[in-house]
Amino acid sequence: ERRQELLNRRQRWNQIEQAARLEFRTTPDNVQPAQDTLRALRALTQRLESRVETLSRPELLQTASEDVATSIQDLKGEVFALCDYLTSQEASSSITQASAENQRVERVLQEAEFMQADLERQLEDVETDLARCEDLLAGNPRLGTPQEVSPGHGCLNHAHAEHLRHPESGEGSADLELQLRTLSSRATDLQLQRRASQAMIDDIEKRIDRTRQPTGSAALEELDRIHALIAETQEEINATAERIASLRRTEEQLTTLLESLRAQPDAAVLDLASGYLSRLTDGEYGTLSQDADNTGIMVTNHALRQQTTVRQLSRGIRHLLALSLRLALIQSRAHDHGRAPLILDDVFISADKDAAQATVDLLLEISESGQQIVFLTSQADVSQVFEERDVPIRLLDEPELEETPIPIPVPVARISTPEPEPVQPAPATNSTRWLFYLELDSSVEDLSGLTIAELQALRGSGIETIDQLLSISSESLSDIMMAAGYSIGPDRVRAWRGQAELSTLVPMLRRGDAEMIYASGIHTPLELSRMRPESIFEIVTRHQETTEGHRFLRSGLTIDRQQAINWSRWSQHSRTLEDARSSRSHFFGSTKPESERNTGTRQSGTNVTRRQPKPVLSDESAVAIKQRRKNRQKRLSKRTATVRTPARSESDQEEVRFYLSRSDDVEAAPSIGPKTAQRLSRVGIYTVDDLLTSEAGDVSDRLKNRRVNSNTVAQWQKQASLMCQVPGLRGHDSQILVACGIVEAAQLAAKRPTDLLTVVGPFAETSEGERILRGGRKPDLEEVTDWITWAQHSRPLRSAA
């Protein structure tokens, strides 16, 4: 096949050679060289240019009219000569083309001869190879089929191998094209990578240049603020780490509890705990079981005939469930490992009286079987339940605690003292020295968080006072509102009732704080009184981190540990609804008619009652403050659709209280949190008075904290001093005033409201001002006017004990 292919190719080249020779013989012989033609054209062109230049001379143009005919004849002759020459050149051009074609034919003939020789040589090589193959076949008859002979054995000569690698064979050309495309693609990828690397290098160089730029433009105050912010962030990180560690310990305990539950054969612990829970809940709950993943406990609600998770239970039922599991575990452990003492600490936080009695009976029954139980409680009613069942009770010595002084009305500069005159005796009403922010005869408008629509719904349902709200059940009031066309559910009504009950029965508890406490899950004063301050702080803080609780942070309602301590302490002095109906806080005005409201009665040793007026603000100041507060309430109601009007009428006397005294814990002072108070206690500063009477430099040296210097301590002292002297002033108010250079009450009282606002307003817009306000409302003209008015009725610092 290879030989036949070569023969065919040689035949085709012979045909090409014959055709080329025939064409070469027919080519004309009178072909002039191209150089001669070019020289002739240049000579003719020069003659014409010379002729034109001669005819264009001015002296010739003047005599042109004389021999114009002669010139025209000469030009005609030149043009005719040019035309003849062009004709001859056209013929010469065709001859030149033929000459070029002749040269190409010669080259083709030469190539054909070369190819013919090459083909003949290859043909000879093939014939030689065929002869050698025939000799091999003849010498070895066992070879049935022709075998491929490698070039190393000499069967193919070098020319044949070169021919196989020639591009005309097809295989080498395709391989080269494939390699070329691969290399081109690789080169493109490398170019893209190079550009990306160069862009990255440029970006890094720019960042390095920015980093190397000097930071001298930053002010020292800004650096101090950044350091303080870093310190606060570090404290928050440490507190979070402690909380995470506590949660991990709790998780480990719960994991151990679950593992012990899984290890019990036949779910004996759950069966035993089911009986305990059913007994404690009077059969409402029981039948504990593991969920499908064996990671949680399901509780059966026999009343609803359905299973619920632990998270879906109320707080009181969860406490009873936890007690049932503890009792079941201690009982099951006794069979294998012997009995161990069981110590319980106030497990009646959310239990009612019936549940408490059932719990005590169960504990007594278990103790009769030989189980030692030590029950710790600080509640008198719980202790009474044990005492009724003849349980031995041991009283522990109470630590001596310094009570928080009761806020009193602000002493005022102007006191009207009319001449005493006898009046008719009036029935005396009981009063309490505690301040309650809600009374039963207060209007429902005083509830925190009411919208205009909700207030209209209450009034449309006939609810005008707190007493009327607490005297009707949530479901009944919701049905009445539904019938009146208001779509308000029982849960919202329960929130109003809970807030009203907390603020009415717990002294010193503000309405906004009562709303936040109820929303956090603490629903009754009894439940609040049975919780530790750290538990209250944790529950309220966790609620504020939720989506629902963020609204309290936005409105400025925050909580610290000292506030949780105060709530727990105040709840120990809660009153009942009967006490609220029979007595009133002496800080509130009486509910007598308007004509008798300005007369306070005091029973003396005789039957004569003398008029004893309260200290009041001046008429102009009181009227101005009332008007500003009314305008502020209107503006807030338009902005947030919330109605929070004062419970007292406009004729009530204006009373303002101090929010800090020298005997308070140092943690209550402005700018001092729990961590800082703990550090101050280590150097002997426990109260605000200790802070005010100490030297700033000495305190900073003893603290040994690089972020607290003498200037920082001096700022704390100025803020605390101003807050102790000026009534109604909050912690962030004093921080703003001291930061603006106002450190004395007399200095504040002498200010004009507009001048003070021009100083305080821009500061509130700064980063430091925003850090102090923490997202709260910025001071306006009305608020700074109140500051000045309160400062005019300040007290000396020595009287703030």
Q: Is the dihedral of CA 593, 599, 600, 604 positive or negative?
A: negative
Q: CA–CA separation, 609 vs 604, rounded Å?
A: 7
Lowest-pLDDT range of 230-239, 622-631, 711-720, 785-794: 622-631
* The 3-state secondary structure of 354-411, one letter per residue: HHHHHHHHHHHHHHHCCCCEEEECCCHHHHHHHHHCCCCCCCCCCCCCCCCCCCCCCC
In this prediction, residue 165 carries a pLDDT of 45
Would you state the CATH architecture of domain 264-388?
A: 3-Layer(aba) Sandwich (3.40)
* The 3-state secondary structure of 320-360, one letter per residue: HHHHHHHHHHHHHHHHHHCCCCEEEECCCCCCCHHHHHHHH
- Write the burial class of residue 256 (CB in 10 Å: 0-12 exposed, 13-18 middle, 19+ buried): exposed
Going by pLDDT thresholds of 50, 70 and 90, the confidence category of residue 788 is very high
In this prediction, residue 718 carries a pLDDT of 93
In this prediction, residue 720 carries a pLDDT of 93
In this prediction, residue 337 carries a pLDDT of 72
H-state helical runs in 408-546: 452-460, 466-470, 474-483, 490-505, 511-520, 525-529, 533-544
The answer to whether residue 793 scores a pLDDT higher than 80 is yes
Going by pLDDT thresholds of 50, 70 and 90, the confidence category of residue 413 is very low
Domain ranges of the chain: 2-57+71-139+158-164, 264-388, 434-590+616-640, 666-799
In this prediction, residue 614 carries a pLDDT of 39
Please give the residue that has the higher pLDDT: either 165 or 607.
165
Residue carrying structure tokens 């500051």: 787
Please give the residue that has the higher pLDDT: either 169 or 531.
531
- Section 460-489 average pLDDT: 86
- Write the burial class of residue 27 (CB in 10 Å: 0-12 exposed, 13-18 middle, 19+ buried): middle
Please give the residue that has the higher pLDDT: either 402 or 67.
67
Going by pLDDT thresholds of 50, 70 and 90, the confidence category of residue 557 is confident
H-state helical runs in 149-219: 158-164, 171-212
The answer to whether residue 407 scores a pLDDT higher than 60 is no
Q: Convert the pLDDT of each residue in 669-695 to its tens digit.
A: 998 888 888 889 888 898 898 899 999
Please give the residue that has the higher pLDDT: either 158 or 474.
474
Instruction: Supply the pTM of this predicted model.
Output: 0.32
- Look up residue 254 and give its two tokens: 């719960």
How distant, in Å, are the alpha carbons of 115, 221, 524, 727, 766 from that of 657? Answer: 121, 35, 27, 5, 30
Q: CA–CA separation, 114 vs 15, rounded Å?
A: 14
Neighbours of 543 (CB within 10 A): 19
Please give the residue that has the higher pLDDT: either 233 or 73.
233
In this prediction, residue 664 carries a pLDDT of 86
> Over the chain, what is the mean pLDDT?
73
